[in-house]
Amino acid sequence: MSESNDIDEGFYSRQLYVLGHEAMRRMGTANVLIAGMRGLGVEIAKNVILSGVKSVTVQDEGLAEWMDFSSQFFLLASHLGQNRALSSLSQLSALNPHVHVSTHTGPLKETLLQQFQVVVLTDSSLDDQQRFGTFCHSNGIKLIVADTKGLCGQLFCDFGEEFEVLDTDGETPASAMIDHITKADPGVVTCIEQRHGFVDGSTVSLSEVCGMTKLNSYGPVDIKFLGPDSFSICDTSSFSEYEKGGVATEVKKSKILQFKPLDEALVDPELLVMTDYGKMTKHQTLHLAFQALHGFVKRVGRLPKPRSQSDAELLVAMVTELNKVSQLDQLDEGVVQSLSFTACGDLAPVNAFIGGLAAQEVMKACTGKFTPLQQWLYFDALECLPEDNSGEGEQLTESTCSPRGSRYDGQTAVFGSGFQERLGEQKYFLVGAGAIGCELLKNFALIGLGAGEGGHITVTDMDSIERSNLNRQFLFRSQDIGKQKSEVAAQAVRVMNPNMNITAHQNRLDPDSEQVYGHTFFMGLDGVAAALDNVEARVYLDGRCVQHQRPMLEGGTLGSKGHTLVVVPHLTESYGPAKTGSQNAIPLCTLKNFPHRIEHTLQWARDQFEGLYKQAAEHVNLYFRDAAGFLERTLGRGEAEALEVLEGVWGGVGGQRPQGWEDCVGWARRQWETLYNNDIAQLLHCFPSDQLTSSGLPFWSGAKRCPHPLTFDPSNTTHMDYVVAAANLYGQIYGIVGTRDCSAIRSILETVHIPAFTPKSTVKIHLTDKEMEEERESGNLDTGRLEELQMKLSSPPVNSAALLMHPIDFEKVMLQMPGM
């Protein structure tokens, strides 16, 4: 972000979807200090820098040592003995050209903290946490404390006496169509949808209400939840009778939160946020155990040694002493012992998780968007430890877990040397080198997966790097734009760990690539990781893993949400086959003719995009590659679908194929007329605005919202945006270069002929998907036209190679084209 506070939309495109412009601008004014540049600190710094704050200062007095290399991904062997912050600076600075990154190699002092709006402490003592916590709280500085010890993590937030959350969840305001409103005190609103999505105390505004029109200008009103399809509002007894229609829309309200300083929060059990109620006792115990660890270090001068029984006994005794004050109902001594055994460990996956959470809290502190943590959170993955104290047949002892002057010392401290050797021998297949793929490859390199003798990683991704990737796919830099993701990612992790055995492919994973990823390939693997961005590919890969009895690790994100899935064939649930029916599926008739929610219009637009710019082009290319086979397969899908597909193919190879840019503009203008005027005029011809149902009720009521045709206006920005985007996209699939010069396009539009449209009485518009399916099955199709298309397409053009089209993927262009 520049000094003028402009937002680089090309760079921050995906993040803008989640945060919005105002939140991004607020974040662009924030100066952040991150103390500690071991694995956890560099993970937080990486995420915060990519997010787009104004500046980040990283502080560390320490020198790089082998123990850091198990999770500090910006350290090289040449940095051993050098300051960690200085060693990381060049790589951190290269992540985001809009963020100023600097270092501080001296000790933390209050005068330094005063320069920042947000301070993050990692690898810090409890004394420092309390001292700086008190200072930050009294000076209005947001404080985040993050720490990891082996398989356990800790997070704390203090955003001050009064912190305003402008948007508690970042979700689109809920809305519901109204079916009826009673004339009473209070008035009761019944919704058409079975679940309106509001909760008790929500604030809504009402609009488009007929009859009881005073509600349209009444303003926001607090509701009381009565049921999933009803709620009460204000006194409506003096209003006119309700007739029909209406929409209730949630009104987002800000919220003021109060935080306690760290020294007070330390002894307040109510501030411990539970994320896993099955581990409640564990995490209550960890709250004391982390405090005891600080006391242990203060007394002994070091962390407990790996697998040291005497150190573990001392830590248990110290926790027991602390519990005399806390009075926990249950104290899990086994958790304390496990923490002591592994506290010297420094694990990349745990740092990635806690570091990701901490960075999200920084973003909340800077923007006021999303509800922050109040105030303590603990995480553990102690179930990863072998129950019988052995790893891969190796007894875990002080000796087997002791440091060896290796980059994996931080991991060996937890799992032992035998486990590390086994990790290095693994053969894994990673599908996808995007945002999640980059993070996985980073973790693979740090843990040494496939980096030993006989080990190997194969990564495939058919995409090339685009500028919008740089904000979240941290292995890529601006000089990599246009290069293959898999190649650049593989090279980047070889720098992190020179022992990595990795091969990069650019293949799409589908039935066509089974000659590469066949039975022999899968049987040679130990596991598969999926970092895919679509359901179809996940389902296909899941099926291949189940078929070949190979475990699959799968994950995905959607905005601020994410999920992970571990598939062990015949032991855990698999991703499963594609779901053909879903409770949340939108009926096709609703999408095409009767949309009443924003989700319907968005899905309709997405379907239009897929059909016009992707599927049609793919069908043409399949036809050119194997005309006879394509026709046979298409006709086998049923006459109705065959007619639709072949019409599209003929449009791409026959007389409708554009010859130049002017043809693309003409097509876009006629497409606009069809979608926003003619189709709506036909719908209103079949169902006029005053149409009544067989019961005498208005047809256009409830969820059916009466539309109105639009008249194209070249001075209307929205109208022109559509034509500009549609013409460019249409030209792109045919290899025709366009322009976004609106003046030039308006000149072409003056020559475009728009045929007159007259609605037809013979057209039938289906009210339900069942009617549509019955129509398809009835055989009432233009079989003559189908036969005509078969004949026309029986012999492909001689120059078919020159006519191949260029299908467009929605994600790749949605921010490159105006109006989309």
Residues classed as catalytic: 589
Write out the H or E segment, with its range, that includes residue 157: strand 152-158
Name which of 502, 494, 490 is nearest 456 in CA terms.
502
d(CA 597, CA 254): 25
d(CA 523, CA 31): 51
* DSSP E strands, 341-496: 376-380, 390-391, 394-395, 427-431, 456-460
Residues 6+ apart with CB under 8 A from 374: 157, 257, 259, 271, 273
> With the CA atoms of 234, 235, 237 and 240 taken in that order, what torsion angle do they form, in degrees rounded to the nearest 10?
-40
Euclidean distance between the first and the last CA atom of the chain, given in angstroms as a whole number:
23
d(CA 211, CA 241): 6
Task: Judge whether 618 and 807 are in contact, CB under 8 Å.
Answer: yes
Write out the H or E segment, with its range, that includes residue 222: strand 221-222
d(CA 43, CA 122): 11
Residues 6+ apart with CB under 8 A from 27: 1, 19, 51, 52, 53, 363, 366, 367
Task: Judge whether 289 and 239 are in contact, CB under 8 Å.
Answer: no
**Residue with tokens 């999640």, as numbered in its chain:** 436
Q: Three-state SS string across 532-594, please? A: CCCHHHHHHHHHHHHHCCCCEEEEEEECCEEEEEEECCCCCCCCCCCCCCCCCCCCHHHHHCC
What's the DSSP call for residue 4? T
**Secondary-structure percent of the chain, ordered helix, strand, coil, rounded to 5:** 45, 15, 40
Residue 698, helix vs strand vs coil:
strand
In the chain, count H helices and then E strands. Answer: 29, 25
CA angle 467, 469, 475 (to 5 degrees): 110
* The token pair that represents 97 in the structure block: 């050209």
Task: Judge whether 616 and 646 are in contact, CB under 8 Å.
Answer: no
What separation in angstroms does the CA of 188 have from each of 191, 219, 237? 10, 17, 11
